[in-house]
Amino acid sequence: MKPQLLLFLLVFGIHPVLATEPPKESLGDIIKKVRDMYNRGIERTTIANYITETVDDNIKSTNNEELFEDPLNWFRLLGERNLNTDLKSEAYNDIANVAWTTGLGNCEENSAIVYYILQKAGVKEHVRIVRTERHSFTVWDIHPSARIDKPNTWGDNALVVDPWLGRNITREEVETNRWFMNNDPNAEVVDHTTFSDPEADSWNRINALYNRENNIKPDLERHNNHDEDCFIATAVYGDPNAPNIQKLRVYRDTVLKRNPLGIAFVNTYETVGPVFAFFIRNDEERKKWVQKNIIEYAVRIASEHQ
């Protein structure tokens, strides 16, 4: 091959080998296959392995050195959309489709793609996007009574589907794998699902509903240290253990939950509260208005009964 022709092929990203590669499957194709496997009763581990292998084959990590080992990728990257500047939305479906189109993505993009596939495929088990300090990943079939911050409560069926890591792992490995907990048993583990999918029920609501239906008493440690059931007040103050939130909890437990009208209010709040909290969480003006006109008024009422 003449040097001039070789240079032309490199500059414009055309490669004889690449030209013979089969076209990339669409996310719709992947979803159809997963839905079919799921409806036929194929084992979850088999389905999860298919998702992980397929996404791993199609999505290259932009912070992975191997991406730059092939000179062809240098030209490819120059022509690709930049996820950090082009992607304005944090919605999981937008992230998934842009990442799939560009073929680039790190752990957040991979977790969004997996969540997107499983949601669109119609799996019935709970699927959550979870984050630690170092990593973002998707958990399939997490038990509804589990505590997100305690992986050992996720249930034996919980499966971490993680194309970024290149394999699926059990919930036990989350506590030891350095990409998840950084070898720190006290590292923070949080549910990121409603941030990416505002239509998803908050985990607190799922947990509370399961506990009520199965007559399970709330976890006292969770109530004291990790409770986020005062959704709107927590969004306003940013701390689930703020003094005013504690007053509201006492009022809820000692007054509202002791009469039918109060119980109806609490149940309604648990339904609409997470949605309203999501609406105000990242808007300082909305938070100030809610604090002044709703929260402080509620705190005054609660204080009169304590």
pLDDT band at 127 (very low <50, low <70, confident <90, very high): very high
What ranges in 255-292 are assigned the alpha helix state H?
A: 260-280, 284-290
How far is the C-alpha of 82 from the C-alpha of 66, rounded, in Å?
18
Q: Tens of pLDDT along 35-50? A: 999 999 999 999 999 9
Q: Give whole-number Cα distances, 131 to 159, 169, 191, 212, in Å.
A: 15, 15, 6, 27
> Which range among 39-53, 72-86, 100-114 has the greatest average pLDDT?
39-53
> Which range among 19-28, 93-102, 170-179, 211-220 has the greatest average pLDDT?
93-102
**Contact predicate 45/79, CB 8 Å:** no
Q: Tens of pLDDT along 173-221? A: 887 776 676 666 667 788 889 888 888 888 888 888 887 888 776 554 4
Q: Is the pLDDT of residue 139 over 90?
A: yes
Average pLDDT of the chain to the nearest whole number: 77
Task: Enter the DSSP assignment of 230.
Answer: S
pLDDT value at position 66? Answer: 52
pLDDT value at position 11? Answer: 46
SS3 252: helix
What is the mean predicted confidence (pLDDT) over 141-163? 90
Q: Is the pLDDT of residue 30 over 90?
A: yes
**Contact predicate 140/116, CB 8 Å:** no
How far is the C-alpha of 124 from the C-alpha of 104, rounded, in Å?
29
Closest-CA residue to 298 (of 236, 243, 245): 245
Q: CB within 8 A of 261, min separation 6: which ones?
A: none
pTM to 2 decimal places = 0.62
What φ, ψ does residue 228 adopt, rounded to 5°? -125, 30
Q: Residues 48, 137, 284, 246: is their CA dihedral positive or negative? A: positive
Per-residue buried b or exposed e for 273-288, using 16+ beta carbons within 10 Å of the residue's own CB: bbebbeebbeeeeebe
Q: Burial of 92 by CB count in 10 Å (0-12 exposed, 13-18 middle, 19+ buried)?
A: buried
Q: Is the pLDDT of residue 291 over 80?
A: yes
User: Quick one: tokens of 158?
Assistant: 């919980």
pLDDT value at position 27? Answer: 92
pLDDT value at position 201? Answer: 87
